Amino acid sequence: MAEATTSTTGEDQPALKRVMGPRLLLLFIVGDILGTGIYALVGQVAEEVGGAAWVPFLVAFAVAMITAFSYLELVTKYPQAAGAALYTHKAFGVHFLTFMVTFVVMSSGITSASTASRAFAANLNEGFGLDLGNGGIVLIALGFMLLVAAVNFRGVGESVKVNVVLTLVELSGLLLVLLVGLYAIAGGDADWSRVVAFDTPEDKGVFLAVTSATSLAFFAMVGFEDSVNMAEECHEPRRIFPKIMITGLTITGVIYVLVAVCAVALVPVGPLAASETPLVEVVRAGAPGIPADVVLPFISMFAVANSALINMLMASRLLYGMARQSVLPKPLARVHPFRRTPWVSIVFTTLISFALITYVSLDTDSDVVSALGGTTSLLLLAVFSIVNVAVLVLRRDRIAEHHFRAPPGLPVVGAVASLYLVLPFSGRDAIQYELAGLLLVLGLVLYGITLLLNRRLGVRAAPLDPAKLEE
């Protein structure tokens, strides 16, 4: 949590210290977007569309940018740390909907961390030259999630300065891929015919294959929405947020498209799709005499480990916040007396991640990373469709301060595009809906149990207040 100043809010609570200027905010946004998606999913995206794997990343970038305009209007209008839950609450005032949006955001953190754990295990297997097989990789992934839980339990003082270091490490891996790609291309080793070739599955046309791949590639673009939770810790958020968020998204979008182009130009789609460490295959093909492929798995491990920790921190704190407000069972709000961390919520979110990793790994017809990563994008795209509608609803709420306003029509386009990528005819795998459905059922069951317990104990729970979720 951020360091507090001596100033206070209207409720005599310490105000968050405004420590982030444009440069730190830019690095935070870039660092939050970079990570598991591009390191692990290039091969699966290429499997859907063929060599033109850069197209889904470009479309995902466009959808993310459109939605970012909606977030910018809302964060400059309401510069508070609560994100989609706050905007949903202000726009619709339906407490159950606010709860479900909050639970979906929490669930997306768990699925994202679970995706990262599988990618971590695969890169560890590759980096140390092991041959563990699926069972061994699953055990490493579960062990990694235990390590994340231990760090989470011990207490992590998240610092934007630490995020700068992590971002630079993540960038170094992608720049390594790009440098190797440019070296190989300059040496005439690239096959440009693959880059413009669409080789889609027999049961899908080009359009359906692109939308299916986009729904997966979108996982690589998520993270920009987290930056709105830093609004209260930024200097002049109304002034700097629009330029910085657009710049950060553009930087990551360009890097992703270039990495995808290099990947398919140097490695045939088949081997790229078959590998759980696709960027290692790119480096190995582009510079066979350089031990860069020995270094990249460890950079990848570091990048995805950071993603997992940040997402599990977010998930456990949101669960704790909901339980503290009596919209989820009260035991989930218990704090360890010595570590001062929400240990029951940490255990609970870790057990959910265990169940997800194991459940998907037992399904031999599903790729674990694409199933979990696709579920993350499914959950967040559902939230994005609501946020895009919330922008339109909240335009009737006039405020005196000047704020960013999304271009006319873009929120409608964003809502339709996000909703389309959520629905089944976008070409998503059934396993993603299955996982998302199980998580939603879990949320509903917990919510129902809490209502019954509150009624039996005579507890009158106040409506969920998004502003108090992460205090």
Position 278 in a domain: yes
Residue 333 counted as domain residue: no
Residue 111 CB contacts under 8 Å (≥ 6 apart), including other chains? 356, 372, 373, 375, 376, 379, 435, 439
Domain membership flag for residue 274: yes
pLDDT value, residue 318: 86
Q: Any idea what the Cα angle at residue 247 is, between residues 162 and 466, rounded to 5°? A: 65
pLDDT score of 186: 87
Confidence of residue 374 (pLDDT cuts 50, 70, 90): very high
Q: How many CB atoms lie within 10 A of CB 347?
A: 16
Q: 293, 296, 221: which is closest to 252 by C-alpha?
A: 221
Q: Which residues contact 184 (CB under 8 A, 6 or more apart)?
A: 190, 262, 265, 266, 285, 286, 287
> Would you say residue 345 lies in a domain?
no
pLDDT (tens digit per residue) in 68-109: 999 999 989 988 766 888 899 999 988 899 999 999 999 999
Q: What is the pLDDT of residues 290-321, one digit of tens each?
A: 776 678 888 888 878 878 888 888 888 889 88
The domain that holds 34 is classified in CATH as 1.20.1740.10
Which residue range(s) make up the domain with 72? 18-99+116-129+155-311+366-430
Asked if the structure places residue 443 within a domain, the reply is no
User: How much is the pLDDT for 158?
Assistant: 46
Q: Within a domain: residue 444?
A: no
Q: Choose between 356 and 290: higher pLDDT.
A: 356
In a domain, 335, yes or no: no
Q: Would you say the pTM of this structure is higher than 0.75?
A: yes
pLDDT at 471: 56
Judge whether 418 lies within some domain: yes
How many structural domains are present in the chain? 1
Q: Has residue 338 got a pLDDT over 60? A: yes
